[in-house]
Amino acid sequence: MAMQGLIGAVEAGGTKFVLALATPDGEILERTRLPTNTPVETWPAMAAFFTQASQRHGPIAAFGVASFGPIDIDPASPAYGTFTTTPKPGWSGARFHDALAQFNAPINVDTDVNGAAIGEWQAGAGRGCRTVAYTTIGTGVGTGIIRDGRSLMGISHFESGHILPPHNHNTDPFPGICPYHSDCIEGLASGPAIEQRWGRSLDQLADDPQAIQLIAGYIAHLASTLVLLHMPDRLIFGGGVMKAPGLIEAVRSATLRKLNHYVQHPRVDDGLVSYVVTPGLGDDAGITGAIALGCQAIASP
Ligand code: ZN
């Protein structure tokens, strides 16, 4: 079935919205960014961009949205596309379907992590894979599992950042910062946790190999858990923390030790150099994924 019409793509982040009008092939015809203020300001500005871009380039056949959360991403839910309990003022209860109703087009809403994961699967480090685990280690920690280009979910999106890793309080007395669990992976290894622990970001701790080893150990607990649960073709680790020099190498070594040769497969190379990787798209993963989400809305509205 030939796809007709254009894709409205939305990458909704906590500080900015990236908007694009694109062809179903992924060619971006027009793009802009807006600050994430309150819906009262951001919704009309978003609709105005799509109205004007559509007048220039043609009708919009579907929208793909990759958004910060928490947000309802279950297409069967009456609240699909609605922000739930976000602490961001004004956003709880705001719904993408209301903001984009005037276009009368199907809307596919997923999380920002799942959107970036789909982008990496389609055009980045996950190309050629059937199952990809994309994890961001940044302000928060989260994982999107992509199977044949579609994100997996259960009753809600996955919450890998809140898995509790082994935590030796003698060698690592830092209590963790998660308000729910203290020392879950997000509580120990997210950007804010690292700042609170050492007063610096991890890339400023290059003179401290023990810091890299410690954080790598927690991330490797997540990596080995993802391998055992999902058996991905590849694991991608992105986000601000992963930019620290030496971290991806340390994560590979620690993951190897945890798996201890248990998983044997051609995909799982000796040093995990092609199995545990950093992203291929950088900042474009989110909007690339949002366009792909829009294409999926046409394929199965
Ligand atoms: Zn937690």
Tens digit of each residue's pLDDT, the chain (301 residues): 344 799 999 999 988 999 999 999 999 999 999 999 999 999 999 999 999 999 999 999 999 999 998 899 999 999 999 999 888 889 999 999 999 999 999 999 999 999 999 999 999 999 999 999 999 999 999 999 999 999 999 999 999 999 999 999 999 999 999 999 999 999 999 999 999 999 999 999 988 999 999 999 999 999 999 999 999 999 999 999 999 999 999 999 999 999 999 999 999 999 999 999 999 998 889 999 999 999 999 887 5
Architecture in CATH for domain 127-279: 2-Layer Sandwich (3.30)
How many whole angstroms from 294 Cα to the centroid of ligand 1?
Answer: 31
The whole model's pTM is what?
A: 0.94
What does the DSSP 8-state code read for residue 282?
Answer: G
Looking at domain 6-115+283-299, its CATH architecture is: 2-Layer Sandwich (3.30)
Q: Give residue 183's identity as a one-letter amino acid code.
A: D
- For ligand 1, the distance from its centroid to the CA atom of residue 202, given in whole angstroms, is 20
What pLDDT does 85 receive?
Answer: 85
- Residues lining ion ligand 1 (Cβ < 5 A) are 162, 178, 180-181, 184
Q: In whole angstroms, how far apart are CA 255 and each of 27, 85, 243, 251?
A: 37, 34, 18, 6
Q: Burial level of 56, CB count in 10 A (0-12/13-18/19+)?
A: exposed
CA distance 175 to 156: 28
CA distances from 7 to 59, 192, 215, 299 (A): 9, 35, 39, 12
Is there a shared CATH topology between the 6-115+283-299 domain and the 127-279 domain? yes
Q: Which residues of 194-224 are buried (b: 16+ CB within 10 A; e: fewer)?
A: beebeeeebbebeeeeebbebbbbbbbbbbb
Asked if 286 and 112 count as a contact pair (C-beta separation under 8 A), the reply is yes
- Domain residue ranges in the chain: 6-115+283-299, 127-279
pLDDT of residue 1: 38
> What pLDDT is stored for residue 301 in this prediction?
55
pLDDT for res 276 = 98
Are the C-beta atoms of 297 and 63 separated by less than 8 Å? yes
| Alpha carbon of 163 to ligand 1 centroid (Å) | 7
| Residue 91: closest CA among 134, 137, 39, 40 | 39
Residue pair 8/50 in contact (Cβ under 8 Å)? The answer is: yes
Residue 164 Cα, ligand 1 centroid: separation in angstroms?
A: 8
